[in-house]
Structure 1
């Protein structure tokens, strides 16, 4: 055995404690896989006096001086599971510039300023690994980063937020509304006390940026991702999806293709969408994650599993620790960031989508013709129309009717413009809902 690989752990919350337990419980196996034992040099925490139960670690290893721990000469690898942008960014840049390897689960930081971390890693010559930042223990980023480097990835579609997937799955199974399903998710511990990052799509958007960056060899940040949450999804939307043989999921979609000028570009978006029940992602329920990857040579690949939680995330962290520790012992580093393609990011308006639009309209002759004419003026083709008596309409009038229209594929900007003009028609009492439709013909 060679000398121990010394670890600095930043954060000892839900994930950090599981990392410590796995390091203790699997110490012999990890040492055998690496060729040297792993030792914790120190653990940086916010509060020293916090009760951490029977955590198998020497209490003297805890410190509140994270930067001092990082700067120690005996630290080889820094593990960051604190989260947030600052002070994590400063800590990790310091570690990487000093030549230490970094393992992080910080999706928000990677999406916000991953460029700074990659540049610091290149400067210092250490490794930057972050498998745990997307989809927990699901082995996803390394296949994109390494296994598929001989192929051309064309599209990545995924369910990458367990909280929203639990909520939408509950709404589909029981017919509950959003508020009721969110309350259940909170009671079961799937949703935080403040669920904004999940239900408004911020968490999924950060993960989408990371996936797109790896898949398309292009730096993509959170600001490049079109983001919509699920708070406006209603029980009526779910029922309408069922009637079409669909379900509603919060999807992250990253695709490459020609933009309006014919140049190759990437499109990255997060929003709720209807998908057919026959689609592989439709059966992903509860708080599970799944990502569907399409590549020119490999074809269609799907990665599925638990996307969050202390133990699954810690598993991904330890996998990265093994990889970077082996590299350090061998005196090598992994392949650096691959951003050679440097493709432009297309605006959302150029994304090609289908729409499901539910209208509350006046029930009189000529209404359907007028509505269809609006779609035609924006060069949007209608695939199907379903009309029936209104459930009461916004004002409870008996002379209303429900009109549900599903379009063919068209630029998102044309669809959005159509919806805006529909809202201004006298015959349209209200636009009850607008949802995109993905995964169908």
Structure 2
């Protein structure tokens, strides 16, 4: 006679878009989850701020409570999907103190207080799972932490924010302006009414900090992430990039580099980036995400899929919940969560990259020579240059100007930035129309 599986109590904190789907799957697919976990996952309650709020999924009213601390008592697994720093941080620490494993999708909390949570989980001997915190349904954190544990990762770069990828993709494929593409993203539910966290790169920066922490076994707080958003990317930038064979993406880049003194360190950055159209990440369209990993032994790996949405993200949450349940059923120590290395974080002066520079210049002899001399003075070489003439009529007079577009060879970011500043001061320069970094060449 088969012994029925034991029952593990699951407390859910938060019932928004993702939380409601997690609750639905826990209730509807209880038998399937039990077979995989080795125990029944019993949803004992859902803590929310507002009991009368409308929800996407109809769930039993008796499960809801506003008393989150009471719900934690007796829970074997706590799933935190509230978002924000507090009270989420305090509730997770309290769950650890009760001996519960925790699954969270809270990227901002992990980026801000990750080390504290990792240490608390280790001290309590419980699991802390957070696959859902980066790239939604894409299994990227477990492969970095587990599958590549025997390898040396040298670089992680990826599209980790679906909202910005949708906006940039619309601008590229339809010629839409930033404002129009953002409005469409909001209409479709990809962007919030206040899109600041997405379009200014805050969301991607938090995910970059998590990726860097896992890839390089060192805690990288949010303040170590260089962040630039996409609000300055214009339709003209998109068109010029397209004409030159590039596409613009908001990339999170975590890279093992050497400082000027030869000391290995890691740079973590988020910014709009030109990619050659043949690069694998250039083909990521719509609100999809993709992460490109480079490792010494494994070589190049790419992970692609839906990076947001209630049901896809719920898949990642429940994967962590089943993993935590298996450990409880089988016994044994929890997997250590605390980063064990101390690789220094380096600033943008340690980054080596290429620049795309657009200049509006006076159409007169000697302009290109003056610009080229500035590049040479700063030790920056030019890979490609394109020139387009413009004719503008004003009060019956014709004024000639030209658009110069340069792609540089790789150089230090500081040298490239200094080059742009020096070029801007030339009397033959009307304006610097665009400055974007280039990867993948």
* TM-score normalised by structure 1 residue count: 0.96
**Worse overlay, 60-69 or 86-95:** 60-69
**Range with bigger deviation, 153-162 or 176-185:** 176-185
Instruction: Give the whole-Å Cα distance in 1 for the aligned partners of 2:127 and 2:188.
Output: 37
Residue 401 of structure 1 corresponds to which residue in structure 2? 402
Q: Deviation per CA, 1:389-434, whole angstroms, max 9, x where unpaired?
A: 136599x972321111110001111111111122222111100010
Matched, 1:126 2:143: no
Contact 2:115/2:338 (<8 A) preserved: no
Q: What is the aligned partner in structure 1 of residue 45 from structure 2?
A: 42
Q: In structure 2, what is the equivalent of residue 83 of structure 1?
A: 83
- Deviation of 1:335 after TM superposition, in Å, equals 2.1
SS at match of 1:165: helix
Q: Take 1:416 and 1:378, find their aligned partners in 2: how far apart are those partners?
A: 10
Query: What is aligned with 1:9?
Result: 12
Change (3 A) 1:327 1:397: farther
Partner residue in 2 for 1:64: 66
Map of 1:7-406 to 2, 5 A cutoff?
Answer: 7-52=10-55, 55-57=58-60, 59-70=61-72, 72=73, 74-337=74-337, 339-390=339-390, 392=392, 398-406=399-407
User: Which string of whole-angstrom CA distances, capped at 9 and with x for unpartnered residues, describes residues 268-294 of structure 1?
Assistant: 110011101110001100000000111
Report if aligned partners of 2:10, 2:44 keep a CA contact under 8 Å in 1.
yes
Question: What is the rounded CA distance, in whole Å, between the counterparts of 1:140 and 1:53 in structure 2?
Answer: 27
Inter-CA distance 397–275: structure 2 relative to 1 (3 Å threshold): farther
Q: Distance in 1 between matches of 2:311 and 2:186?
A: 20
Residue 416 of structure 2 corresponds to which residue in structure 1? 415
Q: 1:51 to 1:184 in 2, by over 3 A?
A: closer
Relative to structure 1, the CA distance from residue 208 to residue 392 in structure 2 (aligned partners, 3 Å threshold; closer, same or farther) is farther
Distance in structure 1 (CA, Å) of the matches to 2:55 and 2:161: 27
Q: Aligned equivalents of 2:338 and 2:145: distance in 1?
A: 8
Instruction: Give the secondary-structure state (helix, strand or coil) at the position aligned to 2:241.
Output: helix
1:141 positional shift: 0.4
Cα distance between partner residues in 2 of 1:266 and 1:243: 33
Find the aligned partners of 2:124 and 2:15 in 1 and give their Cα distance.
26
Check conservation: 2:9, 2:75, Cα contact below 8 A. yes
Aligned-residue CA RMSD in angstroms? 1.7
Aligned to 2:427: 426
Whole-Å Cα distance in 1 between the matches of residues 128 and 56 of structure 2? 31
Query: CA distance change for structure 1 residues 277 and 393 in 2, over 3 Å: closer, same or farther?
Result: farther
Cα 1:415–1:392 shift into 2, 3 Å: farther
Deviations 1:175-221, CA, capped at 9 Å, x for gaps: 11111111111111111100000000000111011011101111112
Question: Gaps spanning 5+ residues in structure 2: where?
Answer: none
Is the CA contact 2:24–2:57 (under 8 Å) kept in the aligned structure 1?
A: no
Aligned partners of 1:122, 1:128: CA distance in 2, in Å? 9
Shift of 1:69: 1.7
Displacement of 1:367 after TM fit?
1.0
Q: For 1:56 and 1:361, how far apart are their aligned partners in 2?
A: 63
SS at match of 1:390: strand
Compute the displacement of 1:330 (Å). Answer: 1.8
Q: Give, in angstroms, the shift of residue 15 of structure 1.
A: 0.7
Paired with 1:52 and 1:403, the residues of 2 have a C-alpha distance of 53
Number of positions where the alignment pairs a residue of Structure 1 with one of Structure 2: 437
Preserved contact between residue 359 and residue 431 of structure 2 (Cα < 8 Å): yes
- Distance in 2 (CA, whole Å) between partners of 1:334 and 1:221 is 24
Displacement of 1:60 after TM fit?
A: 2.1
* Whole-angstrom CA distance in 1 between matches of 2:259 and 2:97: 37
User: Structure 2 vs 1, CA of residues 338 and 294 (structure 1 numbering), >3 Å: closer, same or farther?
Assistant: farther
